[in-house]
Amino acid sequence: MWRWRVVVLVLLAGAPQLAWADARVRSSERVFAKAMLASSSPASVVGDSVKASPPMPGDSSIEARLKACLLPGDVQCVIGQWMVLKTAETVPDWLRRLQWAFDVSNRQAGQCVKVAKAVHEGLLKLGERPVFLRVTLEGEQRKMLGFDEIVKGVFVKTHQVATTGLHVAIKIQGRIIDAYTGLAGLPEEEYMKRLIPYPGMKLVVETVDSL
């Protein structure tokens, strides 16, 4: 069901940009505050349990524990278990890039391709089979795309993820991953529901092996 939003014209450096906002949330600071509090990431149960009983090098359970860290998207746990598995002393660049992909600074329009490439590379190195999800906007209106951030069922805000009509994410085992979802990702159906194209624009979605 289409949800009406208030369209706000923001002037930045003399150039108009489009921002989406939910009128109900804007009028209720209390709801917004609760949502922001809920958005703080709790300590990973998987990561803590793995750290509580670290395996020795050569332990056949290391790979299983690495997978256990990967499933809920615990990047720090993934790094730790990979280091043990490979008996490595330093974190490789590709693993650092995977960690960087989910930095808050990447939650802005224009970063999606770099983020997707970093996540794709990292997952391949970890033995997974990711593909790129390419979302293109078609139509005669503004080529802007929003993404709804929802925490524990509460709408927080709509992020502007694209201004050029192109957004790229990663698809793996029915889940979609980008800077906004974290490594855990979201079910594909849920992710697509959260993408909000500019009124009058159509979403064209395809999966590709490379960019």
Tell me the mean pLDDT in the region 156-172: 96
Same domain, 48 and 128: no
Same domain assignment for residues 199 and 132? yes
Same domain, 55 and 82: yes
pLDDT at 34: 35
Is residue 158 in a domain? yes
**Residue 19 forms part of a structural domain:** yes
Residues 86 and 98 in one domain: no
State the pLDDT at residue 64.
Answer: 84
Per-residue pLDDT band for 46 (boundaries 50, 70, 90) equals very low
Question: DSSP assignment, residue 106?
Answer: G
Structure confidence at residue 47 (pLDDT) = 46
Same domain membership, residue 161 and residue 137: yes
The parent domain of residue 27 ranges over: 6-38+92-208
pTM over 0.85? The answer is no
Q: Give the residue-averaged pLDDT of 59-78.
A: 84
Q: Which of 53, 69, 91 is the last residue of a domain?
A: 91
Distance between CA atoms of 127 and 132, rounded to whole angstroms?
16
Our count of domains for the chain comes to: 2
Backbone angles phi, psi at 59, to 5 degrees: -65, 130
Same domain, 87 and 162: no
Top pLDDT among 49 and 148 is at 148
> What whole-number distance in Å separates Cα of residue 168 and Cα of residue 114?
9
Q: Same structural domain for residues 125 and 188?
A: yes
Residue 127 amino acid letter: G
In a domain, 1, yes or no: no
Other Cβ atoms within 10 Å of 28 Cβ, number: 12
pLDDT confidence of 61, banded at 50, 70, 90? confident
In a 10 Å sphere around its CB, with 0-12 CB exposed, 13-18 middle and 19+ buried, how is residue 72 labelled? middle
**pLDDT classification of 73: cutoffs 50, 70, 90:** very high
- The CA–CA distances, whole Å, from 79 to 28, 67, 94, 128 equal 40, 11, 11, 15
Q: Which residue has the higher pLDDT, 168 or 6?
A: 168
Q: Is 185 inside a domain boundary? A: yes
Predicted confidence (pLDDT) at residue 109 exceeds the cutoff of 80:
yes
130 shares a domain with 82: no
Report CA Rg, the chain: 19
Contact criterion met (CB below 8 Å) for 162 and 198: no
State the pLDDT at residue 60.
Answer: 55
Indicate the pairing of strand 131-138 with strand 166-172. antiparallel
Residues 6+ away with beta carbon under 8 Å from 43: none
Same domain? For 146 and 181 the reply is yes
- The mean pLDDT of 83-112, rounded to a whole number, is 94
138/121 Cα distance (integer angstroms): 29
Is residue 65 domain-resident? yes
Directed axis angle between helix 62-70 and helix 45-52, to 10°?
Answer: 160
